[in-house]
Structure 1
């Protein structure tokens, strides 16, 4: 890969409405919190990790990485978490992943980075083989002012903002690697995964 370092941001700042408000990143899967599974997958792929959390910050700090919260306290959504991480990042790129995706590919950052550089764009989104994954993305930190402008204008839809940038898509062929856990049933199914 070419120059430019990567900070991974693990998004754990949502309200978890589909999980009755439980903090998904702290739910147990196979004996450890979901966020730890994501850390284990992402740490070898990034130069630094930031966890974006709007509650339970002290618990997230125990994982040994910087924790950031949205600048505004009214849950503006994932773009606000990405912006907060981008503000703290000292690297060229931000690898965005949700806290509820415990089986991410080991070559995620490499694949996204290669495609981004090949296409000479500033955003590369993952496609799992069945659908686009707009919250699994590599983006240039140079987009920070554009992101701040969108948030200030209340343009908060992640996919809309990402696709409005000069972007490309990296196609993966294993949707199970991108499984995200949004219910107790999905958590139970994840317990049976071999990854």
Structure 2
């Protein structure tokens, strides 16, 4: 399985690239890598062009495929799939620093057909904490070509397994402002 770290967001609400925000002395992207590493043979980070040089040289960092540049997380997932061939891809956005390897392990238990996604405490899918089968690549490409950039509507058609992880709700905390992480 290949790990895809989504680190290409504009971070408008955060005010600076979230991938490099720090929590307890580590960058957010480092938490995503740590969560994926026990389960993935390789990890690719999909980032914005202006941030490529900010990552350490030993990491595999790419930018969106040119034809889908800046078209959101779905473009990042497609780019990761295009970069390294695999049967399965574990996807983790960089702005959920509380996610750990247990979420990937749990998602693997529910991996059956096209994809499996994590389910939030309130029962709504969190589409970016997910595992995708290589067979979804043409569907992602078709969605992007029709300007449908959202991952959430696609879940109803593709999700074959849903992992209910309500015993650890903080893993779903998406950090959108610097003050949000203080006091944790």
TM-score by length of 2: 0.90
The 10-residue stretch of structure 1 (7-16 or 127-136) with the greater mean CA deviation from structure 2: 127-136
Deviation of 1:166 (Å): 4.6
Distance in 1, Cα, partners of 2:10 & 2:156: 24
Give the secondary structure class of the aligned counterpart of 2:182. Answer: helix
Aligned to 2:71: 76
Deviation of 1:161 (Å): 1.9
Q: Is the 8 A contact 1:46 1:109 kept in 2?
A: no
Aligned to 1:3: none
Aligned to 1:126: 118
* 1:25 equivalent among 19, 44, 60: 19
The 10-residue stretch of structure 1 (47-56 or 160-169) with the greater mean CA deviation from structure 2: 160-169
Aligned to 1:137: 130
Give the secondary structure class of the aligned counterpart of 1:116. Answer: coil
Residues 63 and 186 (structure 1 numbering): CA distance in 2 closer, same or farther, change over 3 Å?
farther
Give the secondary structure class of the aligned counterpart of 1:18. Answer: coil
Number of residue pairs the alignment of both structures matches: 180
Matched, 1:175 2:169: yes
Give the secondary structure class of the aligned counterpart of 1:139. Answer: strand
Aligned to 1:48: 42
Give the secondary structure class of the aligned counterpart of 1:101. Answer: coil
Segments of structure 2 that go 5 or more residues without pairing to the other structure are none
Give CA deviations for 1:25-53 in whole Å, capped at 9, x if unaligned: 10111112111122122211211111010
Give the secondary structure class of the aligned counterpart of 2:13. Answer: helix
TM-align CA RMSD = 1.6
Q: Is the 8 A contact 1:49 1:66 kept in 2?
A: yes
Aligned to 1:98: 93
Runs of 4+ in 1 over 6 A off after TM superposition: none
Segments of structure 1 that go 5 or more residues without pairing to the other structure are 1-5
Aligned to 1:85: 80
Q: Is the 8 A contact 1:38 1:99 kept in 2?
A: yes
Q: Is the 8 A contact 2:31 2:100 kept in 1?
A: no
Matched, 1:13 2:5: no
